[in-house]
Amino acid sequence: MTPAKDSMVQGGGRPWPITLDNWQDAPLSRWGFAHAEQIVPAAVIRASDPPEPSPSAEGHGLTGLHVPLDDREVPLDNFLSASATDAFLVRDRDGIRYEVYDGEMDRHRRHLLMSVSKSVCSLLIGQLVAEGALELSAPALTYVPELGESAFGTATIQQILDMAADVDYSEDYHDQSSHVRLQDRIAGWRTRLPEDPGTVFDFLTSLRSCGPHGRRFQYCSAATDVLAWVAERVTAGRYPDLLHERLWRHLAMERDAQITIDRAGFAFANGGMSTTARDLSRIGLLLLDHGVAGGRQIVPAGWIEAITRGGDPAAVAGTVFSEVHPRGSYRNHWWVTGDDHGSVYATGIHGQYLWIDPAAQVVIVKFSCLPVATSADWSHRHARVFRRIAETL
């Protein structure tokens, strides 16, 4: 991989012209995803004090590795370039085995996680469930009465975690009239329209149901923001502070993370987190180690076991995910492949990945700026490459 070249650069390294409505579009997204806090207001998720640098392990074993790309085998670097990679890291418990950066990225630079953020939220919810602050069978309105008229009000916490809440909500990233694009505008990611709800709180309470909960899988980004609202309500804390107190400070993170916030200061839990590749890999290690970090049980082992055990594959039948992972399922805001390694992963649009292979004891992080938000072809290509790497190590 070679450093990206951008002819549209002004003083200070910011591409020009860049606006609130084009920073997520290629080729400007290469800069935008690595500098989100310069575009959208963000809160800090404080790191460990003092931070603990990630060790590098000798003999990564990936030099000269060829990986599958459609109907041919290509060098790993070729795949990384073809898939618009900004950062790529492979590690195990002994340390980092392989690490490359391109474009705006280096080991100290944060990158937008998109929906990988959802899976981080799950770990916080797992802690609150274990402490008795939340009941999985309780409807969300138990904790946030303001959701009483919303579709999410009668959905249980477990249904929301498993994307089984039935909501009149469009997740079409390319449709400007979709709910997910509206939510982007409310969160400050795009230019607001005069008729848009004022805050994410207003938006969540306005959503309505279109059927009984639990009858189908419906991927809905708003679900994670409901969970973050519930977490804030039962702890009387703000979401970025909760992530610091309950996760970040225990995981020896090297750098502060950030999360974008709306005009009311509410964190965009479903996709607004930015971290370094090294720090995100520590979340992967936490799953490999059954919720233990630094000799302490940070996330309940039972919660990690529930994730890796997976859910009902029939629930996701007919989705793009099931085409890529025929035995896969979705559980507690994580994707479960159902493969013979027990691999699970978190993913976000435009090619963000946190892949965990328990059999190989390998964690893979990939930050990207693919021009397309989602693609069955790219999902399949990434899964094949990640499996090849895990088998090699």
Question: 3-state SS string over 193-210?
Answer: CCCCCCCHHHHHHHCCCC
Q: Are 378 and 147 in contact (CB under 8 A)?
A: no
Question: What radius of gyration do the chain's Cα atoms show?
Answer: 20
- What tokens appear for 121 in the block? 């939220």
State the DSSP code for 306.
H
Helix axes 179-186, 222-235, angle to 10 degrees: 40
- What DSSP element (H or E) covers 82? helix 76-82
CA 175, CA 171: separation in Å to the nearest integer? 9
Q: Please identify every residue annotated as catalytic.
A: 115
- Rounded to whole angstroms, the Cα distance separating 99 from 107 reads 9
Contacts of 124 (CB under 8 A, 6+ apart): 231, 242, 243, 246, 247
